[in-house]
Amino acid sequence: MLAPYAARVQESRGRRYPEPAHAYRNDYQRDRDRVIHSRAFRRLEDKTQVFTRRYSDHFRNRLTHTIEVAQISRTIAAQLGLNVDLVEALALAHDIGHPPFGHAGEKALDAAMRAHRACFDHNLHALRIVEDFELRYAAFRGLNLTFEVREGIIKHSRDYDPAGFPELREYLLGQNPPLEAQLIDLTDEIAYHTADLDDGYEARILTLEEIRRGVPMFERFYVQAEAHYAGAREKLKFNEALKRMLDCMVSDLIAQTQARLAASGARSLAGVRACPERLASFSPAVDAERQQTKDFLYQKLYFSEALRPEKSEAEQVVTELFQYWMEHPEALPASYQEQAQREPLHRVICDYIAGMTDTFILRQHRKLVATA
């Protein structure tokens, strides 16, 4: 049973290239399946979330993080009466545009592009992947996803100025995306805040004492866990606190979004699109605690001394390979040399690097740069 404001697959704006209906899957289900079977999705298994595999193979990578985001998103969507199929497709696709080495790789790739008066945006790169780079079908390039999934890929985490991005004008830049897309950026934060606390603690970069002092939401639930499970091991009480922290953010997001929907008067998807601001939201109190958690993770984990060597190496690898191919375009694979006849060389190199896994880019660096 869908709520009146949910996105209905029967009212989809459709695909760029019309296709016959499938016998037993609706279009959003087919989009979900196309994402799962894509090469870009498979590559997420070997792309860094926070910790590279050389640090440990016990921690999240982009793929396992994506699966966690999809699980959280489905749960919330069902409670809000949203289209779970669309939410799942968007959650599974939300990170396919990320380059290797996590945010360190993205930072270096963007810096390399800015030297050519361009930039790297992982949402826009994801759109290029699903519209052009994936080659699975004889009838068209890309995955030929529905409009709503393509729109959600670029608009789930930010709004693009119509004047600054005329090439995206078909995606209704002056309107909000459906609630199904609005959820994804928030569920992404829920997933990585709790997961990164977990992985940081397991890696012994974050101590329990630091987390309790720096993350008020965690401390509140750890006190509860201690009261209920006084004899349990520290790690089990830690897990219990994280579980309650995740549940708190999920429950708050559901309740606050319901309240904002009621206050807005939006009774249809058109009403959601026309609202002056996005409706999916945490309450002010929980949002403040979310920001405290985010600040803590940036200060104590993402920019920690323990991770600095790997981040620096990642940035160096991306920067040096980018420059190498700018100077030696003949060393690019044939398909990218052909692409460079139609598009600027720096954009072609950016596309090539962004699609790489951690393992492959390190192998290319050793082959082309380190041994030069």
Domain membership of residue 4 (yes or no) is: no
The answer on 231 and 207 residing in a single domain is: yes
Q: Which residue, of 273, 308, 343, is where some domain finishes?
A: 308
The answer on 315 and 183 residing in a single domain is: no
The answer on 320 and 300 residing in a single domain is: no
The answer on 190 and 97 residing in a single domain is: yes
Residue 110 CB coordination number (10 Å): 17
282 contacts 294 by C-beta, under 8 angstroms: no
pLDDT tens-place string over residues 111-170: 999 999 999 999 999 999 999 999 999 999 999 999 999 999 999 999 999 999 999 999
Domain membership of residue 70 (yes or no) is: yes
Domain membership of residue 33 (yes or no) is: yes
Assign residue 34 the CATH number of its domain. 1.10.3210.10
Domain membership of residue 251 (yes or no) is: yes
The answer on 320 and 293 residing in a single domain is: no
In this predicted structure, what is the pLDDT of residue 370?
78
Task: Read off the pTM.
Answer: 0.95
Q: Which residue, of 265, 291, 308, is where some domain finishes?
A: 308
Q: Which residue, of 290, 308, 326, is where some domain finishes?
A: 308
- DSSP 8-state symbol, 22: P
What tokens does 133 get?
Answer: 């780079």
Distance in angstroms (rounded) separating the CA atoms of residues 213 and 293: 11
- Four-point Cα dihedral 170, 175, 176, 178, nearest 10: -60
The answer on 283 and 346 residing in a single domain is: no
Domain membership of residue 20 (yes or no) is: yes
Distance in angstroms (rounded) separating the CA atoms of residues 95 and 100: 11
The answer on 213 and 197 residing in a single domain is: yes
Distance in angstroms (rounded) separating the CA atoms of residues 262 and 169: 30
The answer on 259 and 325 residing in a single domain is: no
The answer on 18 and 125 residing in a single domain is: yes
In a structure prediction context, what are the per-residue pLDDT tens digits for the chain, which is 372 residues long? 899 999 999 999 999 999 999 999 999 999 999 999 999 999 999 998 888 655 566 789 999 999 999 999 999 999 999 999 999 999 999 999 999 999 999 999 999 999 999 999 999 999 999 999 999 999 999 999 999 999 999 999 999 999 999 999 999 999 999 999 999 999 999 999 999 999 999 999 999 999 999 999 999 999 999 999 999 999 999 999 999 999 999 999 999 999 999 999 999 999 999 999 999 999 999 999 999 999 999 999 999 999 999 999 999 999 999 999 999 999 999 999 999 999 999 999 999 999 999 999 999 999 999 776
What tokens does 254 get?
Answer: 């559901």
Domain membership of residue 3 (yes or no) is: no
The answer on 340 and 228 residing in a single domain is: no
The DSSP-derived string for 101-169 is THHHHHHHHHHHHHTTT----HHHHHHHIIIII----SS-SS---BHHHHHHHHHSS----TTT-GGGG
Query: 327 is in which domain, residue-wise?
Result: 309-370
Domain membership of residue 1 (yes or no) is: no
Domain membership of residue 234 (yes or no) is: yes
Domain tally for the chain? Answer: 2
The answer on 224 and 123 residing in a single domain is: yes
Q: 15: helix, coil or strand?
A: strand
Q: How many residues does the chain have?
A: 372
Distance in angstroms (rounded) separating the CA atoms of residues 33 and 324: 37
In this predicted structure, what is the pLDDT of residue 71?
98
Q: What are phi and psi of 61, to 5 degrees?
A: -115, 180
The answer on 300 and 324 residing in a single domain is: no
